[in-house]
Structure 1
Amino acid sequence: MKPFILASQSPRRKQLLEQVQLSFSIEQSRMEEIINQDDSPQEAVASLAHQKARDVFLRNRHHVVIGADTIVVIDGEILGKPADEKEAKAMLNKLSGRTHHVYTGVSIVSEDKTITFTETAEVHFYELSTEEIDAYVRSGDPFDKAGGYGIQGIGATLVEKIHGDYFTIVGLPIAKVVRALKDFQ
């Protein structure tokens, strides 16, 4: 498989691509993330992924570029990355004992073609005590993750069950990405 550019600074996406032994470089998108409030969660996350990939592609026109974005949605509300402890605690309280959806959008852009898709997973949290939420927030883990938690770390202890692709929740549905990249060879 030819090397490509990952338009993301996410250490989790980088790790997943390395895990499957792909050759790539990283260049972060410089675009401001804009969500159209009329979009469905799937449309919003696909658009964000495409915006990132396109931004990096415009500076690297002879390369294949992958953009990705992940959002957490509960009760129709998109939960981004918490700005502070108060917001992280509010998000975790909202997710406590409930089911939410995680959407990851992926866009692969080259001179010849573009493929954009979304994957969805359902996540159910245990009922969380105030002490559990406070301890998790003190760990620092929530602050660079949509919805204020990361399933791949200590946040895994908050999750009772999932339905769907675990890697979608981590931030990159790796099997589907690898298959899509075959169309760019």
Structure 2
Amino acid sequence: MLHLASKSPRRQELLAQLGMEFGLLDVDVPEQREPGEPPAAYVSRVAREKAGAGLLKVVASRGAVVLGADTEVVLDDEVFGKPADAADAARMLQRLSGRVHECISSVWVLSAGREQHATCISQVRFEVLTQARIEAYIATGECFGKAGAYAIQGRAAAFVSHLSGSHSGVMGLPLHETARLLREFGLMD
């Protein structure tokens, strides 16, 4: 049985898009970057910790497989997590305006005796955003709870002038890599 260790509705939707049936596990893992930790290593570690915390909850279930994922926006080695408030969201969006940033998504799949992972790095270019557009976007509330203060699947899609990589990865779960991992575990054809 597959379990998703995530509270993210987007990850749930994306995993369901693959035709997978799965249970949900509510895990609480601190998302704090260690000093000097490279962004991709940080994202991978957090995804692994989420999957590991989920596996501890279902360890008694024979054949349980847990998927954990993390996605972060990175610009100039700064990891943009979820904004703390509107001012933080505005700061992030101003920094991303007119620039190319990376969106790093890491996926870990664990069972009692096995683990596999994959990381997907996409480049996203935002057009130049006026202060008025930033304020209007923040007012929608869509920016909250999202890495980098934006949702590519929502209104912020209008900010993206170019994407190189995985659209689903920017959303929070790179489907190509996820499907490959699930096939390796015998959960998909």
Query: Aligning the two structures, in what range does the TM-score lie when normalised by the shorter sequence?
Result: over 0.9
Using the alignment, how far apart are the partners of 1:25 and 1:175 within structure 2?
A: 21
Aligned to 2:4: 6
Does the residue aligned with 1:138 lie in a helix, a strand or coil? helix
Does the residue aligned with 1:141 lie in a helix, a strand or coil? coil
Using the alignment, how far apart are the partners of 2:126 and 2:32 within structure 1?
A: 29
Aligned to 1:37: 35
Structure 2: which amino acid aligns with 1:77?
Answer: E
Using the alignment, how far apart are the partners of 2:38 and 2:86 within structure 1?
A: 28
Report how far residue 29 of structure 1 moved: 1.1
Aligned to 2:57: 59
Using the alignment, how far apart are the partners of 1:77 and 1:17 within structure 2?
A: 28
Report how far residue 33 of structure 1 moved: 2.5
Of the structure 1 ranges 150-159 and 30-39, higher mean CA displacement relative to structure 2 is found in 30-39
Report how far residue 124 of structure 1 moved: 0.3
Aligned to 2:107: 106
Identity of aligned residues (%): 37
Query: 1:1-185 residue pairs with structure 2 within 5 A?
Result: 3-61=1-59, 62=62, 63-185=64-186
Report how far residue 37 of structure 1 moved: 2.4
Structural RMSD (CA): 1.0
Paired residues, number? 183
Q: Point out 4+ residue stretches in structure 1 off by more than 3 angstroms.
A: none
Of the structure 1 ranges 140-149 and 111-120, higher mean CA displacement relative to structure 2 is found in 111-120
Using the alignment, how far apart are the partners of 1:33 and 1:51 within structure 2?
A: 10
Does the residue aligned with 2:3 lie in a helix, a strand or coil? strand
Alpha-carbon deviations, 1:56-111, whole Å to 9, x = none?
A: 10121231000000000001100000011000001000000001000001111101
Report how far residue 175 of structure 1 moved: 1.7
TM-score (norm 1): 0.96
Report how far residue 19 of structure 1 moved: 1.5
Structure 2: which amino acid aligns with 1:100?
Answer: H
Does the residue aligned with 1:151 lie in a helix, a strand or coil? coil
Structure 1: which amino acid aligns with 2:73?
Answer: V
Alpha-carbon deviations, 1:114-158, whole Å to 9, x = none?
A: 012211000000000011000000000000100000100001011
TM-score (norm 2): 0.94
Unaligned runs of 5+ in 1: none
Unaligned runs of 5+ in 2: none
Structure 2: which amino acid aligns with 1:104?
Answer: S
Alpha-carbon deviations, 1:4-52, whole Å to 9, x = none?
A: 0000011111011112211001112123223222221111100000000
